[in-house]
Amino acid sequence: MAIQRPKGTQDLLPGTVEQWQYLEETIRKVCRDYGYEEIRTPIFEATELFQRGVGQTTDIVKKEMYTFLDKGDRSMTLRPEGTASVCRAYVEDKLYGQSQPVKLYYSGPMFRYERPQSGRFRQFHQFGVEVLGADQPIVDAEVICLVWDLYQRLGLKGLEVHLNSVGCPTCRAAHREQLQRFLTTRKSELCQDCQERYERNPLRILDCKNPNCQAVTEGAPTTLDTLCDDCRSHFEKVLSLLSGAGVAYRVDPRLVRGLDYYTKTAFEVMVEEIGAQSAICGGGRYDGLVEEIGGPATPGIGFAMGLERVLAALQVQGKFPDPKPKLFAMLIALGDKAQNEGFTMMNALRGKGVPVRMDLLGRSLKAQLKAANREGAEFALILGEEELERQVLLLRDLNSGEQTEVPLSKAIEVIYMKHRRGV
């Protein structure tokens, strides 16, 4: 039996890859415009980083990580998300010694052992940004505006930002007490995971997708009910800034996100038309994470989006631009001598930045012209034994059908100038 790719992975084939490149190039352009710099971290890290950074009680750490022992008996994990790695690099590489805030973005593969389903893979790709070293509400607003701007440039419609504040450690303690009191008589009705969360991190119960748990928590106290004055002021300022920037948002008191490190602002971006799983971005503030993994007390905020999910939304809404012609010219050489001459000419043109290809199978003129049209070439450069004898090249415009003769000695310059002028 032929070997197949692992379950939950995919091959990105030509055609599809061009859509990925379009998305990635747009992401880089937006990040540059906002003053963010790219960071690249290892695909695997010490398991402890995610245990401490993401949280021991999270589904990611408990159920979804790809963890292994290396040959030195060290526990390593394929990264399930990007924030913890960026914060580790911030500490290890002493980025806190630079001018603050540090504004970073990343993009690359992540790994989670999940049940494969539509829009979810075990190897998936995330783009994210992190701002470290600033705790002002305007930083939260800029991060949200960046992702909003990105989706606007991509042309996505039906967008809405869902926002909440999960407070600071002081607020959280008050909310924890109220939530546990609310749930105490119905704890046994919760799923097994939420019964464990009740003791360790009851806020996460509000994030459970189990219908029974959602019914039990209906009417439960929210984090907004217990915000301290500082957190309330911070959240109101974020909302005011987003309103001024024209960002469509809705306050969602049940939004708590699935990771333990969030403080204050938490948000998701929702989009229409991609089915039940309508969130295509999520993030928030994490003012204690850098300290948790051994660094100095440092505020931070960021978001991450699954590129597969964004691509699905773009495909559903038909937002990919029309493909540009891939090829300027196809060089059609007929016969051995013409092939030798044509190969030299093709490489000279490529050296000048002109996209030229050449048939490598020695097919007929008809077959090569058909291939040139299929590839979207604008011109066919025809060189046969007769043309060689006369020292000319036939230049055929594949859009108009017009054909002219060009002296071989001038062919490279003529073709180069046509390409340069966009003719």
Answer yes or no: is 63 within a domain.
Answer: yes
pLDDT for residue 277: 46
- What are the contacts of 45-48 at 24+ separation with CB within 8 A? 45/76, 45/77, 45/79, 45/84, 45/85, 45/88, 46/74, 46/75, 46/76, 46/77, 47/75, 47/76, 47/77, 48/75
Q: Which residues are annotated as a binding site?
A: 81-83, 112, 126, 130, 257, 261-262
Indicate if 273 and 342 belong to the same structural domain.
Answer: no
81: three-class secondary structure by DSSP = coil
Indicate if 98 and 245 belong to the same structural domain.
Answer: yes
pLDDT for residue 192: 86
Answer yes or no: is 24 within a domain.
Answer: yes
Indicate if 157 and 277 belong to the same structural domain.
Answer: yes
Q: Assess contact for 261 and 289: CB atoms under 8 A.
A: yes
Indicate if 123 and 237 belong to the same structural domain.
Answer: yes
Using only the alpha carbons of the chain, give its radius of gyration: 28
User: Which of 297, 317, 337 is the C-terminal boundary of a domain?
Assistant: 317
- Give the span between the Cα atoms of 123 and 360, in whole angstroms: 36
User: Which of 283, 317, 351 is the C-terminal boundary of a domain?
Assistant: 317
Q: What is the CATH number of the domain that holds 245?
A: 3.30.930.10
Range of the domain at 370: 329-422
Answer yes or no: is 184 within a domain.
Answer: no
Answer yes or no: is 203 within a domain.
Answer: no
Name the DSSP letter for residue 120: B
Read off φ and ψ for residue 105, nearest 5 degrees.
-135, 155
Indicate if 311 and 270 belong to the same structural domain.
Answer: yes
Answer yes or no: is 217 within a domain.
Answer: no
User: CB under 8 Å to 9, separation ≥6 — which residues?
Assistant: 121, 122, 123
Q: Assess contact for 295 and 386: CB atoms under 8 A.
A: no
Torsion of CA 104, 107, 111, 112, to 10 degrees: 70
Q: How far is CA 332 from CA 142, 335, 386, 395, 401, in A?
A: 53, 10, 13, 10, 16
pLDDT for residue 140: 98
Q: Number of folded domains in the chain? A: 2
Answer yes or no: is 221 within a domain.
Answer: no
Number of neighbours of residue 215 by Cβ within 10 angstroms: 10
Answer yes or no: is 351 within a domain.
Answer: yes
Burial of 21 (0-12, 13-18, 19+ CB in 10 A): exposed
Q: Which residues are annotated as a binding site for L-histidine?
A: 81-83, 112, 126, 130, 257, 261-262
Q: What is the CATH number of the domain that holds 405?
A: 3.40.50.800
User: Which of 317, 338, 357 is the C-terminal boundary of a domain?
Assistant: 317
- Crossing angle of helices 408-421 and 336-351, in 10° steps, is 40
User: 159-165 and 263-271: which strand pairing?
Assistant: antiparallel
Indicate if 74 and 150 belong to the same structural domain.
Answer: yes
Answer yes or no: is 9 within a domain.
Answer: no
Indicate if 395 and 369 belong to the same structural domain.
Answer: yes
pLDDT for residue 198: 82
Q: Assess contact for 296 and 186: CB atoms under 8 A.
A: no
DSSP 220-231: PPPGGGG--HHH
Could you report the average pLDDT of every consecutive run of 10 residues in the chain (423 residues)?
93 92 96 98 96 81 91 96 96 96 98 81 96 98 98 93 94 86 85 84 82 86 92 97 96 82 92 69 95 95 95 89 78 93 95 93 92 92 94 95 94 93 72
Query: How big is the CA angle at 140 (ends 62 and 157), to the nearest 5 degrees?
Result: 85
Indicate if 125 and 55 belong to the same structural domain.
Answer: yes
Indicate if 274 and 141 belong to the same structural domain.
Answer: yes
122-144 CB burial, b ≥16 within 10 A, e <16: bbbbbbbbbbbbbbebebbbbbb
């800029």: which residue's tokens? 142
Read off φ and ψ for residue 156, nearest 5 degrees.
-70, 140
Name the strand (E) or helix (H) holding 287: none
Indicate if 151 and 235 belong to the same structural domain.
Answer: yes
Indicate if 146 and 69 belong to the same structural domain.
Answer: yes
12: three-class secondary structure by DSSP = coil
